[in-house]
Amino acid sequence: MRIIAGTAGSIPLKVPRSLTRPTTDRVREAVFSVLGGKTDGARVLDLFAGSGSLGLESLSRGAAEATLVESNGAACAVIGENLQKSRLDGARVQRRDVLSFLPTAPAGHYDIIFADPPYARDEPTLALLNALVTSPALAAALAPDGIFVLESFASVALPETPLWEVVREKTYGSTRVSYLTPLTIAPATA
Protein backbone atom coordinates (compact mmCIF):
# COMPACT_ATOMS: atom_id res chain seq x y z
CA MET A 1 0.00 0.00 0.00
CA ARG A 2 1.30 3.42 -0.97
CA ILE A 3 0.35 7.00 -1.70
CA ILE A 4 -0.41 6.91 -5.41
CA ALA A 5 0.18 10.44 -6.69
CA GLY A 6 1.03 14.01 -5.78
CA THR A 7 3.79 15.45 -3.62
CA ALA A 8 4.11 12.25 -1.54
CA GLY A 9 3.45 9.87 -4.43
CA SER A 10 4.93 6.33 -4.10
CA ILE A 11 5.64 6.65 -0.36
CA PRO A 12 4.67 3.32 1.23
CA LEU A 13 2.03 3.36 3.95
CA LYS A 14 1.89 1.22 7.04
CA VAL A 15 -1.41 -0.60 7.62
CA PRO A 16 -2.85 -1.47 11.05
CA ARG A 17 -2.54 -5.19 11.81
CA SER A 18 -6.18 -5.77 12.64
CA LEU A 19 -9.65 -4.27 12.75
CA THR A 20 -9.26 -2.47 9.44
CA ARG A 21 -9.77 -3.25 5.78
CA PRO A 22 -7.65 -0.71 3.92
CA THR A 23 -8.86 0.81 0.67
CA THR A 24 -6.80 -0.87 -2.03
CA ASP A 25 -4.52 1.13 -4.31
CA ARG A 26 -6.77 0.22 -7.27
CA VAL A 27 -9.92 1.57 -5.58
CA ARG A 28 -8.14 4.70 -4.32
CA GLU A 29 -6.76 5.40 -7.78
CA ALA A 30 -10.25 5.06 -9.29
CA VAL A 31 -11.83 7.30 -6.62
CA PHE A 32 -9.29 10.08 -7.13
CA SER A 33 -9.65 9.76 -10.90
CA VAL A 34 -13.40 10.44 -10.49
CA LEU A 35 -12.73 13.34 -8.10
CA GLY A 36 -10.22 14.89 -10.50
CA GLY A 37 -9.19 18.38 -9.40
CA LYS A 38 -11.74 18.55 -6.57
CA THR A 39 -8.93 17.84 -4.09
CA ASP A 40 -7.09 21.08 -4.93
CA GLY A 41 -7.42 23.26 -1.84
CA ALA A 42 -10.17 20.99 -0.45
CA ARG A 43 -11.06 20.47 3.19
CA VAL A 44 -11.34 16.70 3.62
CA LEU A 45 -12.94 14.55 6.29
CA ASP A 46 -11.80 10.90 6.39
CA LEU A 47 -14.17 8.83 8.57
CA PHE A 48 -13.16 5.35 9.79
CA ALA A 49 -9.68 6.42 8.64
CA GLY A 50 -7.80 3.14 9.35
CA SER A 51 -4.33 3.76 7.91
CA GLY A 52 -5.27 7.28 6.82
CA SER A 53 -4.75 6.44 3.16
CA LEU A 54 -7.68 8.48 1.80
CA GLY A 55 -6.87 11.58 3.84
CA LEU A 56 -3.15 11.32 3.07
CA GLU A 57 -3.81 10.78 -0.64
CA SER A 58 -5.96 13.92 -0.58
CA LEU A 59 -3.21 15.97 1.07
CA SER A 60 -0.65 14.63 -1.39
CA ARG A 61 -2.92 15.75 -4.23
CA GLY A 62 -3.29 19.32 -2.94
CA ALA A 63 -5.98 19.28 -0.26
CA ALA A 64 -5.59 22.17 2.19
CA GLU A 65 -6.52 20.10 5.24
CA ALA A 66 -7.65 16.63 6.24
CA THR A 67 -9.36 15.56 9.44
CA LEU A 68 -8.92 11.82 10.01
CA VAL A 69 -11.37 10.25 12.45
CA GLU A 70 -10.59 6.78 13.83
CA SER A 71 -11.67 5.19 17.10
CA ASN A 72 -8.95 2.51 17.30
CA GLY A 73 -5.81 3.65 19.16
CA ALA A 74 -3.43 1.34 17.27
CA ALA A 75 -4.80 2.61 13.95
CA CYS A 76 -4.35 6.23 15.12
CA ALA A 77 -0.71 5.43 15.92
CA VAL A 78 -0.27 4.02 12.40
CA ILE A 79 -1.82 7.18 10.92
CA GLY A 80 0.71 9.21 12.92
CA GLU A 81 3.58 7.11 11.56
CA ASN A 82 2.26 7.50 8.00
CA LEU A 83 1.98 11.27 8.45
CA GLN A 84 5.54 11.45 9.71
CA LYS A 85 6.85 9.30 6.85
CA SER A 86 4.96 11.25 4.17
CA ARG A 87 5.81 14.69 5.64
CA LEU A 88 2.39 16.00 4.64
CA ASP A 89 1.01 19.08 6.40
CA GLY A 90 -2.57 19.94 7.21
CA ALA A 91 -3.72 16.73 8.91
CA ARG A 92 -5.55 16.45 12.22
CA VAL A 93 -6.13 13.02 13.72
CA GLN A 94 -9.19 12.63 15.94
CA ARG A 95 -9.33 9.47 18.06
CA ARG A 96 -13.10 9.36 18.35
CA ASP A 97 -16.11 7.31 17.44
CA VAL A 98 -17.39 8.62 14.10
CA LEU A 99 -21.02 8.97 15.17
CA SER A 100 -20.03 10.97 18.27
CA PHE A 101 -17.62 13.14 16.23
CA LEU A 102 -20.13 14.16 13.56
CA PRO A 103 -22.30 16.44 15.76
CA THR A 104 -19.12 18.40 16.61
CA ALA A 105 -18.04 18.83 12.97
CA PRO A 106 -18.31 22.40 11.69
CA ALA A 107 -21.37 22.94 9.49
CA GLY A 108 -20.67 23.22 5.76
CA HIS A 109 -16.93 22.87 6.30
CA TYR A 110 -15.85 19.81 4.31
CA ASP A 111 -15.59 19.74 0.52
CA ILE A 112 -15.02 15.97 0.42
CA ILE A 113 -16.10 13.44 3.02
CA PHE A 114 -14.81 9.89 2.77
CA ALA A 115 -16.32 7.07 4.80
CA ASP A 116 -15.08 3.49 4.79
CA PRO A 117 -17.05 1.92 7.66
CA PRO A 118 -16.86 -1.78 8.52
CA TYR A 119 -18.69 -3.60 5.75
CA ALA A 120 -22.32 -4.31 6.62
CA ARG A 121 -22.31 -8.09 6.88
CA ASP A 122 -24.22 -8.48 10.16
CA GLU A 123 -26.73 -6.60 12.30
CA PRO A 124 -24.27 -4.30 14.13
CA THR A 125 -22.38 -3.25 10.99
CA LEU A 126 -25.62 -2.79 9.03
CA ALA A 127 -26.93 -0.62 11.88
CA LEU A 128 -23.71 1.43 11.77
CA LEU A 129 -24.04 2.00 8.01
CA ASN A 130 -27.69 2.99 8.46
CA ALA A 131 -26.82 5.40 11.30
CA LEU A 132 -24.12 6.97 9.14
CA VAL A 133 -26.20 7.60 6.01
CA THR A 134 -29.16 8.87 8.04
CA SER A 135 -27.06 11.22 10.18
CA PRO A 136 -28.19 14.84 9.70
CA ALA A 137 -24.84 15.89 11.22
CA LEU A 138 -22.97 14.17 8.37
CA ALA A 139 -25.05 15.97 5.74
CA ALA A 140 -24.63 19.27 7.62
CA ALA A 141 -20.82 18.93 7.68
CA LEU A 142 -20.60 18.83 3.88
CA ALA A 143 -20.01 22.09 1.99
CA PRO A 144 -22.82 23.13 -0.40
CA ASP A 145 -20.99 21.82 -3.49
CA GLY A 146 -19.27 18.97 -1.66
CA ILE A 147 -19.27 15.24 -2.27
CA PHE A 148 -19.62 12.28 0.07
CA VAL A 149 -17.68 9.19 -1.03
CA LEU A 150 -18.87 6.02 0.68
CA GLU A 151 -17.31 2.56 0.48
CA SER A 152 -19.55 -0.37 1.27
CA PHE A 153 -20.00 -4.09 0.70
CA ALA A 154 -21.17 -4.51 -2.91
CA SER A 155 -23.67 -7.27 -2.18
CA VAL A 156 -25.58 -5.27 0.48
CA ALA A 157 -27.95 -2.54 -0.67
CA LEU A 158 -27.39 0.93 0.73
CA PRO A 159 -30.01 1.88 3.31
CA GLU A 160 -32.74 4.23 2.09
CA THR A 161 -32.16 7.79 3.21
CA PRO A 162 -33.97 11.04 2.55
CA LEU A 163 -30.68 12.93 2.97
CA TRP A 164 -28.59 11.76 0.00
CA GLU A 165 -28.74 11.25 -3.74
CA VAL A 166 -26.39 8.71 -5.31
CA VAL A 167 -24.89 10.52 -8.32
CA ARG A 168 -22.43 7.80 -9.31
CA GLU A 169 -21.61 4.27 -8.26
CA LYS A 170 -18.94 1.77 -9.23
CA THR A 171 -18.12 -1.73 -7.99
CA TYR A 172 -14.59 -3.11 -7.63
CA GLY A 173 -14.74 -6.77 -6.59
CA SER A 174 -16.57 -6.83 -3.23
CA THR A 175 -16.29 -3.04 -2.78
CA ARG A 176 -18.93 -0.57 -3.94
CA VAL A 177 -17.98 3.11 -4.08
CA SER A 178 -20.93 5.48 -4.01
CA TYR A 179 -20.65 9.21 -4.69
CA LEU A 180 -23.43 11.09 -2.93
CA THR A 181 -24.65 14.66 -2.74
CA PRO A 182 -27.18 16.03 -0.25
CA LEU A 183 -30.79 16.14 -1.34
CA THR A 184 -32.32 19.56 -0.99
CA ILE A 185 -35.59 19.40 0.82
CA ALA A 186 -38.12 21.97 -0.35
CA PRO A 187 -39.51 24.05 2.53
CA ALA A 188 -43.06 23.20 3.55
CA THR A 189 -45.69 25.67 2.41
CA ALA A 190 -48.44 26.86 4.70
pLDDT per residue over 65-117, tens digit each? 999 999 999 999 999 999 999 999 999 999 999 999 999 999 999 999 999 99
| Dihedral sign for Cα atoms in the order 54, 137, 143, 106 | negative
Of the chain, the percentage scoring pLDDT greater than 70 comes to 93
Give the C-alpha separation, 80 to 16, whole Å. Answer: 11
Give the C-alpha separation, 134 to 161, whole Å. Answer: 6
Residue 120 pLDDT: 66
Sort strands 142-153 and 175-182 into parallel, antiparallel or unpaired: antiparallel
Residue bearing the bigger pLDDT, 4 or 123? 4
pTM: 0.91
Residue 48 pLDDT: 95
pLDDT per residue over 17-56, tens digit each? 765 567 778 899 999 999 999 999 999 999 999 999 999 9
For the domain spanning 25-182, the CATH number is 3.40.50.150
